[in-house]
Structure 1
Amino acid sequence: MFGLPASAALLDLVSDPILTLRSDLSALRGNAAARDWLGPDTAEGWRALRQAAGGRLDAWLREATRAIDATRPAPPAPPLKLPDGQRATLHLLRDRPNWLLHARLSAAQAQDPPLAEWLALAAGPALLADATTGRVLRKNAAFAALHAPPTAGPDAPASLNELPDLLQALLGWHHGAPLPALAAQRPQDPALITEAEFTDRHGQSHWLLARLRLWRQGERTLLLAALEDQSPLRERDLAHQQLDALMDTAAVGLATFQPEAGWLKSHRKTAPLRAGSKLPVGSLQGIHRDLVEPASLPEFERLQRALKRGDAVEVRYAVRHPELGRRWLLTRVAPGVLAGGRRSTSVVTLDVTAQAQAENALLLRAESERAVLDSVLVGIVTVGAHGIEWMNRSARRMFGCELDEVQGQPLGVLAPDDDDHAFHAEPGSDVFECQLRGRDGRQFWVIGNAVQTPRDDGGVQTTYALLDIDRRRAAEAQTRLAEASLARIIEGAPLAITLHEAQTLRIVKLNQAAAALAGLPEDALLDGDPTRLFGSELGARVEADMREALASQALVQREYPVPGPQGTRLWDTRLLHLAGTTPGDAPQWLLMVASDVTEQRAAEQARLQAAIAQRELLVREVHHRIKNNLQGVAGLLQQTAARRPEVAPVLKEAVGQVQAIAQVYGLQVGASGPLLIKRVFDAIVGSVQRMQGRVITTTAEGGALLDDWCLPEAEAIPIALSLNELLGNALRHGQGAPVRCQLICDLGGVAVEIANAGQLPEGFELGAIRSGVSGLGLVRALLPRRSAILSLAQVETDVVCRLELMPPSVVHNPATKHAS
């Protein structure tokens, strides 16, 4: 049994002829297929068909109507043989107060697929509903999968009102009726587009885009909705954004080469070069042969050959950039095959200048270390598997020979023929003392040690450090002299210096400045702990810091307020452990060096406070002057408008904009940080009232939140200009009627509603307004995209403009403790 609703728009979609019959069984109207069957005048065609069929068709119609009204099955309809050889099978349905007659023509006639088949073929969710009652007439499986549980029946839900609120809003349905924007849609208007993020029954989020249209014919109105899942497009855009960020962060150039298409350029724009930045190498197209240094040309040619043949290769070469100078690039070529069988080559280019510079620095460091070792007084001899490899200047002078005289010979040529000699024994970490013989026959005693280190080739290298004892004695004498001089310097230094035993932290040595710090003689402080030096309370803190310095084996810096006869003094203290005589030993001593920085810190604090005060004064002065200058500019524009009436409207609008900016700078005089939204709101409303000579009724809701929401400095002027334009627009189009403005603050953000008498143009769309220098175009250009929402709606006889501001366009007042 055919069961489509009696809607002319829907019946026209059916490929079979369908007639709407009156109670007397005369034809009221027919769908497109019925008009093709019976002629343009379906009533006359139906009458002619009844006459041609004789009484058997009328008799069946009377019996079928009585049976259907009595809720009994209707008798089968007599087959009708048409003049063109076709056959028609009739079905009668009740659609009070009328009847629907469905004619199934013979199979010889080609038929259009029914609407249900088209909905089943649609990949995206699709819906057909009665726009008057909200009853769902048709939907496909993709739409049912959005919300219905698997156990729900095929007809659930039966009404749009049973859908989730978010899905209703996406379909343009609100409180049992279409949205005003959808209801005002005309036949020639484009489809209404809505977007929303919807979570299906599996918990997966989808960004859905809906195209909506109302189909009106006769007394029935149908809602047609086609939905598209935009999630893959959004994910693709996000992936592109993440890839671009990754490439920018890692300084990686990426290009793709296909033999049949050549280089595939990246979709993003390359950032301009700046001094000190890395070389942008998005593809090899920007690297010309004349940029490559001559020494790297063979490697660059190898790279070009690999690209032509599609071979995998990794090449490093140097280029000379006109702005950034000499840069090292590493290019990897990775051939592959795409899913369609096409060959493709990915080329990744890295700026490895830092790595090359580091390698060169290591070579220079090795040469520098050799130079340093060559200048020390200790004789150093390096011995490998094949004999002596290197000697520094001190060793060559010690043995009275040059390196080429002994290079490659065993170390024994420098020692007596004694099997027990240290040079013939296995090297160890212990210090040895032995007699050596120079190439000139001179014998001398040295003290030294030997260290074995592994080589890159798997062998072992032995390094001997030798010191002539006579030279050491002289050095020791010089060391003692230096220590005595250092002791005299420490004693006379203005710094408080103490030496503590690592385990007990008792004071072993101190100078006069340290005794003055404690206010006690030196004898009273020796063998005492830090509490004797700093007092009981502060001493415990100093002792804990000393333990930390010993545990970390690093310099620890602290500042201690030390009370004294002249008040509390601030001492900058540095604690450093002194390790034992051999590597790996635990620290034996702790050195403390302290200096009085009271005056220095006070001077630094005074300079800081003076700088802050000067900055705030300068900022206030700048804001004040900007405000005065802007007001002066506004005055000049007003004078020009008075002299030039033909441009007065344009200049009056510019004066309002300048006055709005001046109001913001005026509010910033004497203030720092974000501006209260309430103050900016009142200032702009007052400025517009003075400029227009009109009264604007204002109200504010939000309680304590009115003193919490603020505008950041960067957003204050754009939002102030936007409020100025919206208020001016309401006054211009308000037909002289009062204008109402309301400020609403809640936990989520701030909203401003402006209402004026008026009527929006038919088919008005805010999104179709282009950015400009005045009116709604300026507002759209100034407002931030992601954190501000502007809407215009017709509410009875008023036009209501609503501006919603959300973080970060608005921020909480730093002076309050309110938390959203």
Structure 2
Amino acid sequence: MFGQPPSPALLDLVGDPVLTLRSDLSALRANPAARAWLGTDAAEGWRLLRQAAGSRLETWLRDAAHAIDTGRAPPPAPPLKLADGQRATLHLLRDRPNWLLHARLSAADPGEPPLGEWMALSPLPMLLADAASGAVLRHNAAFSQLCAGTPRQLNDLPDLLQALLGWSRGMPVPALSSLRAPDGPLVTEAEFVDPQGRHCWLQARLRLWRQDGRTLLQAVLEDQSLLHERDLAHQQLDALMDTAAVGLATFQPEGGWLKAHRKSAPFKGAGKGGVGSLQGISRDIVEPASLPEFERLQRALKKGDPVEVRYAVRHPELGRRWLLTRVAPGLLAGGRRTTSVVTLDVTAQAQAENALLLRAESERAVLDSVLVGIVTVGPDGIEWMNRSARRMFGCELEDVLGQPMGVLAPEDNEHAFHAEPGSDVFECRLRGRDGREFWVIGNAVQTPRDDGAEGGTQLTYALLDIDRRRQAEAQSRLAQASLARIIEGAPMAITLHEAHSLRIVKLNQAAAAMGGRSEAQLLGSGPEALFGAQQGERVAADMREALASLAVVQREYQVPAGSGTRVWDTRLLHLAGVSGDDAPELLLLVASDVTEQRAAEQARLQAAISQRELLVREVHHRIKNNLQGVAGLLQQIAARRPEVAPVLKEAVGQVQAIAQVYGLQVGASGPLVLKRVFDAIVGSVQRAQGRVITTTAEGGALLDDWCLPEAEAIPIALSLNELLGNALRHGDGAAARCQLICDPAGVTVEIVNTGHLPDGFELQNVRSGVSGLGLVRALLPRRSAILSLEQQGTDVLCRLELIPPSVVHNPATKPSS
């Protein structure tokens, strides 16, 4: 398409759509033709076109880009047919670092039949109208049946029909106007009454067609009444089948079994493996005795004869079931033969004896697995014991079978096992046949006999071994008493608070001493009684936080005590359900007096800080002395070696600038005041060059406010040294002028000397180096320092602007927030 990548202005003159794509092939820029093709938001239109074209376009874009980058010819692009019938042919060109995509559009195929022929052929109501004026351009005969007469305007149609067509108040509805080409049509539905008075449910599919500045409304309507009636019939049939537990299926001689009804099944609750109808019942699950009847059913089904058959099956999940199947042949519209097959589960209930026996065995299995000892006693004595009872008494059922319950009790006539059983719970001491003595709690009830004998009853004893519980309760009481003594004598203040009101419900002697009152006076009071009125609200807020977080909350409180203040390290814990689900919620407070500990820690910290500052000052002083020594050595070498004296003199100035910074840091803490660094560097340059620099400062109090961070002090000092030295070297012997300007936004240093900049001088063209402007450009921060040089008559003005973070406010003068 192009010999060389064209400029953006040239692309705007191209009549075909041209897109500038990023490296990820997303749209960056579009010429007017591309915006007319893809819409005002060409980037969104290009994304929608890629989404609609699918993998064909994405594969070609990836393969073409790879071929062009490797120097090969790209593959041909796949033809794209657009929504309005046009076709687009794409070409990709490299315009580093971007891509150019050229689209050549061709008109729609002229061989397609005209719109009027399609509308006349369609049995569905169709309409074409002008979306701007509402004029009806075309409609077919099916649409004319929905309205009386021939419509000329959309506004003349009934209101309900206008709503179906997406037309409201003389214009399309917003949902229709916002549709894009790749989107599907707008679908509307409503119940409509035609001129003949018939009720029907209409569905409309709408789209706006835009071409040559004209917008047309396309509408296709469809009667959904039969579909709604069919769905209603299905719902009614589903309800009937589910209520009756009936399986329903259809068999056709030509096509075999049709799909079974959606919800019907002869085995209700069979799940995924259930039989949906007769086609799910195979010969393998039919009982052998019912095979003749099942074969008769199969023959009648193949011949289309009516029949009703009962047979038994062995279902893999439900067991043995009886089924009743009825075959009813019929004819469908068009003369096709069909057969309806209805299957009903008619299984008779199992006999009562078998059900009772199964239930008794199930209950015995459950009772045999519980931890409570169960003993059943009949008229002839003990009849059954579960595993827990046998383990409790240390015997087997055969050892006591047929004996009275008293055989398991000590020789005590008043024992519960000898007395008449009642409904009350009893607690007694027992001795097992192995000699072990233990306590139990239980009761005895009369229950019907398992064998179903008429009028027969039996006694059922339920016994729970509470010997371990009694031992645990005794140990718990001992532990609680020991814990209470430990808490009472602990050196820490311990209190228990009611969760909702935060009132003190229990405290030890240390807590009473902390509050300065007796335990009786502190009981029922709030946290302010312990920590004072000033700390009371803060402590209460921390307590509520601990109640909400269910975790240990640690806080320190400073409580006035006499002429001083005591520091209490406090921990708060929510005790939720510790003593049982019915116990009230409590909050535990444990406080330790750490005043002396915190004072010692603060003293150690201050000592460490003082020692560190002393070491830093000493290091800075030694560095300054060493740097001054290095500068002296360089000056001696320069005196002996005149050929390298200029270079060494420049190095001496740089070393002196660094030494000045370290010298200022000897007696300072924190960042250096910029004004002091400025004065020190100016004085150092004057002494080294033997020249006079006139200095002024503006900014008032801001001169002592702006400081240099430790990381930026040496680079900026070196930069000032180089700029001042450069001004003196190129000043033709005249005095240089330097001005320091401080304002709320930052700091500006202006250096003026007599001289002329070279023709075509550009500061950005100066390369980084070890001296002069190259060193300055290498040292200055790029984002927070701006350096400029400009010619002002016979003078050269050098301006250095510093903004945060290259300069910061002095912490000693900055107001606290």
Structure 2 length normalisation: TM-score? 0.44
User: Higher relative CO (CA 8 A, sep ≥ 6), structure 1 or 2?
Assistant: 1
State which structure, 1 or 2, has the greater radius of gyration over its C-alpha atoms: 2
Q: Tell me the TM-score normalized by structure 1.
A: 0.44
